[in-house]
Amino acid sequence: MNTLLLFFAWLVLLVVCWPLALLALVLAPLVWLIALPFRLLGAAVEGVFALVRALFLLPARLLGHR
């Protein structure tokens, strides 16, 4: 649904201002490439936080607390 909405917004932009729509079409992969390392770093930090949380809750789990 989100992709369809984005496509229709791009079509409206194409009708209103076609150079800006073409520029957005060209720059979208570049923005995705720049954002990719930050997304990978976010996933790694989330994994570290999950590990720390599991280590802190380990004694309670061993004692049988829910």
Tens-place pLDDT, residues 25-56: 999 999 999 999 999 999 999 999 999 999 99
| Band of residue 64 on the pLDDT scale cut at 50, 70, 90 | confident
Q: At what angle do helices 18-62 and 2-16 cross, to 10 degrees?
A: 160
List C-alpha distances in Å: 12 to 18, 19, 26, 29, 40: 9, 12, 17, 20, 33
Domain count, the chain: 1
Note the pLDDT of residue 15.
95
Boundaries of domain holding 44? 2-62
